[in-house]
Amino acid sequence: QSCTQKYIVKNYFYYYLFRFSAALGEEIFYITFLPFTYWNIDHSVSRRMIIVWSIVMYIGQVSKDILKWPRPLSPPVVKLEMRTNAEYGMPSTHAMAATAISFSFFIATMNQYKYPFELGLVAAFVFSTLVCLSRLYTGMHTVLDVIGGALISAVLLLLLYPAWDMIDHLLLTSPFCPLLSIVVPLVLCYNYPKLDYYSPTRGDTTTILGAAAGATVGFWLNNHYTAPVYASKSFQLGFPLMTSKMVVVLARFFVGILVVLLTRWLMKNVVLGVLGYWYKFPIRDLEARRRLEVEVPYKFITYSSVGFMATVIVPLLHELLGLQ
């Protein structure tokens, strides 16, 4: 059901705060924060966040389409978003992603960097809470959806934490890692739960798994051919607080994000062009792009290329430009 309600904003502080907070659980945040962590903070932290993020998000997206709990009715709520309205509500994947990313970042860094434990805990809690509240404010979820999403994410994080080091070691060293990193996500995407109508959940899941697959292959290649994690000290800049470091950090980020965005644009057009030629549909045909045989390969190839570029090519470019 489309959002056709008109509304008047009476409190612009809350409006912009929660609209911004909602964006922290979407692609624009993933495509900037996760690469930023890899380029500027710590490779091991980034790897663990991507592992947790991809697993949590896959389980959350699939759970939505299995449970099929509706979103809040409008009216009485006013829905401030359009794109995700076609999805089911329980659990809130915004809440799941925010909880997974903030607390996995906190857990992965608390023993590696010197900062007050309480400060890190409060920061993770505030970040996840703002995203959770934004889903209520925008009318996209019920309180139960949000609480359920946060709790499921917390449980998964607790279950995954003891296996972090083992999973990380296997992804870096196993000769089967590149093959499994591509095959397993593709199988999961092609066997995604079917719905009676189109929902963006399958496409979003393919985007997430594709990006994680490309990044994982990049981690493996880097460990074998560039900078072995277990043979030398892993790259670690730490939290950039000095002005001189900030200049390098910003330069590294803008160079990297430019490459990432160009890769996404180029691969999207190339892959859609090839699929359009193969399946005989115009590249701008939205209905054709939603078909399983088109949506999965186009999004998976596009975002796995983004993940690979971010972890392999961008660091090489940084080194070439003297930003390493």
Residue 245 inside a domain? The answer is yes
Catalytic residue among 43, 94, 169, 318: 94
**How many CB atoms sit inside 10 A of residue 77's CB?**
17
Q: What is the pLDDT of residue 321?
A: 84
Cα Rg, the chain, nearest whole Å: 20
pTM: 0.84
Q: What is the 3-state secondary structure (H, E, C) of 28-58?
A: HHHHHHHHHHHHHCEHHHHHHHHHHHHHHHH
- Tell whether 5 is covered by a domain: no
Report yes or no on 59 lying in a domain: yes
Task: Kindly state whether residue 244 falls inside one of the protein's structural domains.
Answer: yes
Domain that holds residue 90: 12-321
Distance of CA 83 to the CA centre of its chain: 17
Specify the pLDDT at position 13: 85
Burial of 302 (0-12, 13-18, 19+ CB in 10 A): buried
Residue 80 is assigned to a structural domain of this protein: yes
What domain count does the chain have?
A: 1
94 is catalytic: yes
Q: Verify whether residue 141 is a known catalytic residue.
A: yes
Closest to 281 (Cα-Cα) out of 265, 295, 267, 264: 295
Q: Is residue 92 within 8 Å of 141, Cβ to Cβ?
A: yes
Task: Let me know if residue 2 belongs to a domain.
Answer: no
Residue 123: inside a domain: yes
Q: What are the mean pLDDT values of the chain's consecutive 10-residue runs (324 residues total)?
A: 64 83 80 86 86 90 87 76 73 89 88 82 90 85 89 92 87 90 92 82 90 92 72 46 72 90 93 88 84 90 93 89 78
> Please, is 11 exposed, middle or buried when counting C-beta atoms within 10 Å of its C-beta (0-12, 13-18, 19+)?
exposed
Which of 43, 141, 169, 318 is catalytic? The answer is 141
| pLDDT value at residue 227 | 64
Look at residue 248 in the predicted model and tell me its pLDDT: 81
**Residue 6 domain flag:** no
Quick one: pLDDT at residue 3?
Answer: 47
